[in-house]
Chain A
Amino acid sequence: MDEKTEKDILQDIANQEYEHGFVTDVEQEFIPKGLNEDIIRLISSKKQEPEWLLEFRLDAFRRWQKMKMPTWAHLQIPEIDFQDIIYYAAPKKDSDRPKEIDPELEKTFDKLGIPLNERAALAGVAVDAVFDSVSVTTTFRKALADKGIIFCSFSEAVREHPDLVRKYLASVVPVGDNFYAALNSAVFSDGSFCYIPKGVRCPMELSSYFRINAKGTGQFERTLIVADEGSYVSYMEGCTAPMRDENQLHAAVVEIVVEKDAEVKYSTVQNWYPGDAQGRGGIFNFVTKRGICKGSGSHLSWTQVETGSAITWKYPSTILKGDNSSSEFYSVAVTNNMQQADTGTKMIHIGRNTRSRIISKGISAGHSQNSYRGLVMMQPGADNARNYSQCDSLLIGDKCGAHTFPDIRNSNRSAIVEHEATTSKISEDQLFYCNQRGIGPEEAVGLIVNGYAREVLSKLPMEFAVEAQKLLQVSLEGSVG
């Protein structure tokens, strides 16, 4: 490739801004920095929570204090001062119009392509929009309620459906599960709650959109999805944050309960601010996501497109407890510049005839490090269980790294586990072929990468697929070398 054009392209990209990097200027309410029992009491009282939830938080906090930051991941995480984070930040409500959304916030979400107005173009999707520590609004609530579907912010769910929340909260991710899950359990602010009653097929896509805005804060949202017997829901999650020199922490917990014959499809397009080309700033995305296929014949499907965050530590997992239940994990993780990602999945097979499939596509460029880490466990009762995993890595440039760390544990002789992984780069031949037909190097890489990730992208809901494809292109621009 021409040395000069290559440089030009790189230059262009270095100057290119992260599209969602703006800051919304709204009056916000903060609580003091730091983390202690008083702060937790303060968060709890701000949210007018019942006593049991405060106890839950305090218990989590006490456990968290005894825990250490996990170091097993293939990541270099700078020291995080947990006392230097603001754990609660909320846009102030206009006292004259307490029911309405601040127009400034509405504009923000509009700019991000998330219409909070139900008449908007994206009519097929109900959105729960979370801004820093609070949920701004949830659209289409009424239309959903007619079907018996509960879709609201987590805080509302605590007030209005305490029994459901109490029954399922921490039933999939226990309080002391890991360091970040314990932290989240102690300080979680808002998130989405979703309950699909028996036999109901959710008529539209549900989605949460998370936005970090305030400086010096962390976002700790909690999502709980319960699909009762025979129901179906497709859930999407998106996120962005402003460009800043500081690192901001995002430690979420997502719990999904899938009852008998129910099906949940969970899709994420993660586009947190990844930091600049020198690795300054960016979000630390340390997330615990886990679902349980509780009843027989249940199905849980994870699809994720990870393009953002300075550091990603994320393993959406499924516990296949019900007989004949199945789960899938489709992932595309892209890292560029100084980004680091350690992501993958866990499939725990407990029930008979359980099936799981893992397709992971890692793409690393620049100076980034991209790891797949997965666990497939066949417990003694998992008769005839089956897993197939495929993890491919694509390297673009000679300064990046791609790693694969699968862990396979089989204790059942009728269970079959297969894993395969490959690592390769975009071949000169492929690029030459495209160039020869008048496709520029940049576009050619985009084309090849999209083809490479197609198997995963095709699993995304339509609303997301287009965005994801664009994102892939943008994330990799300037990485041709």
Chain B
Amino acid sequence: MIPLIDGEADMEEKRVMKVASGDSLQRVFMLRDSASLPVEHIVLEAGSAADITIVVMPGVSCDVRLAVDMDGQGASCSVQGVYLCTSDEDVRITVDMNHNVPHCSSRQLFKGIAGGSSRVDFFGKIIVAEDAQMTEAYQENHNLLLSDDAKVNTRPQLEIYADDVKCSHGATVGRLNEEEQFYMRSRGITLQEAKVLQMLSFVSPVFSHIPESAAKDDMENEIEQAIRRL
């Protein structure tokens, strides 16, 4: 596997990022207090790759908008994110994945926990243009609802105009599994700890493909602390 490294992405305008042919771009955006991403639009040229991770920490209300245009063949893109809402946050995430040319692949994975009186809106769109054959595009959005006052709206959408494609999306909104909790409690793990473990394992797939590094450890620590405080 070729490790993803920061590519020579040039910032054309402030919010547009172009990844040149063959380059790869990897970014992790931790939203601690800022309410939006520094980049709004990513353009991928032939054979380039982008890997974007977005983490919305507790207490942050945000309106994240990200559009990806796959303009060159063989481009691949992975966008994933975690949002943790504990009080009265209003988190909106909008992702547009535009497959404009053939032979591109994209993955989206967003996982979130909504507690307090928070409100989450996820709006993800995959558009496969008419000639963009051999596209592979996947999108997943999973949510846990922790309180009665929290609300989750999710709209995963597929717009497909080509036939030789593999596309799927999945979305769930649910609660922590009580049978799993029982399993852990019967083995001496407290209910609180069981819930923490469940939530950690719920969000962990989002980071699983990021190569090990000190930065990754820090990030995971920070997320674990946030989950423990939920």
Contact = CB atoms under 8 A, between A and B. Distances in A.
A413 B145 contact: yes
A403 B150 contact: no
Interface string B158-178: 111111111111111111000
B167 A409 contact: no
Nearest to A384: B175
Given A403-B159, A407-B155, A413 B150 contact: yes
Interface string A55-76: 0000000000000000000100
A393 interface: yes
Contacts of A216: none
Interface residues of B, number: 33
A404 B157 contact: yes
A418 B163 CA distance: 26
Interface in A420-449: 420-425
**Interface centre among B156, B163, B171, by most A CB within 10 Å?**
B163
Given A408-B153, A423-B168, A403 B160 contact: yes
A412 B147 CA distance: 8
Nearest to A381: B148
B153 A401 contact: no
Nearest to A403: B159
Contacts of A408: 152-155, 171, 173
Interface string A375-394: 00010100000000000010
A404 B146 CA distance: 28
B184 to A, nearest CB: 20
B164 A416 contact: no
Given A404-B169, A421-B168, A422-B168, A409 B157 contact: no
Contacts of B154: 407-408
A421 B159 CA distance: 12
B193 interface: no
Q: Range of interface residues on chain A? A: 35 or more
B156 A419 contact: yes
Interface in A266-281: none
Contacts of B158: 393, 402-404, 421, 423
Nearest to B128: A423
A389 to B, nearest CB: 9
Nearest to A428: B164
A400 interface: yes
Contacts of B143: 410
Q: Which of the listed residues A403, A411, A413, A415 has the most CB atoms from chain B within 10 Å of its own CB? A: A413
B147 A413 contact: yes
B98 interface: no
B162 to A, nearest CB: 6
B164 A398 contact: yes
Contacts of A406: 155-157, 171
A416 B168 contact: no
B155 A405 contact: yes
A416 B163 contact: no
B151 A423 contact: no
Interface in B108-163: 130, 133, 143, 145-148, 150-163
B165 to A, nearest CB: 6
A238 interface: no
Given A403-B157, A406-B156, A417-B174, A423 B167 contact: yes
A421 B164 contact: no
A414 interface: yes
Given A399-B130, A413-B145, A423-B167, 20 more contacts: A380-B148, A398-B133, A400-B163, A401-B159, A403-B157, A405-B155, A408-B155, A408-B171, A410-B151, A415-B173, A415-B174, A416-B173, A416-B174, A418-B170, A418-B171, A418-B172, A420-B169, A420-B171, A421-B156, A424-B167
20 contacts: A378-B173, A393-B160, A395-B165, A398-B133, A401-B161, A403-B160, A406-B157, A407-B154, A408-B152, A408-B153, A410-B143, A410-B145, A411-B150, A412-B148, A417-B171, A417-B173, A417-B174, A418-B170, A422-B167, A424-B165
Task: List the 3 shortest-distance A-B pairs measured between CB atoms, nearest first.
Answer: A395-B163, A410-B173, A413-B145
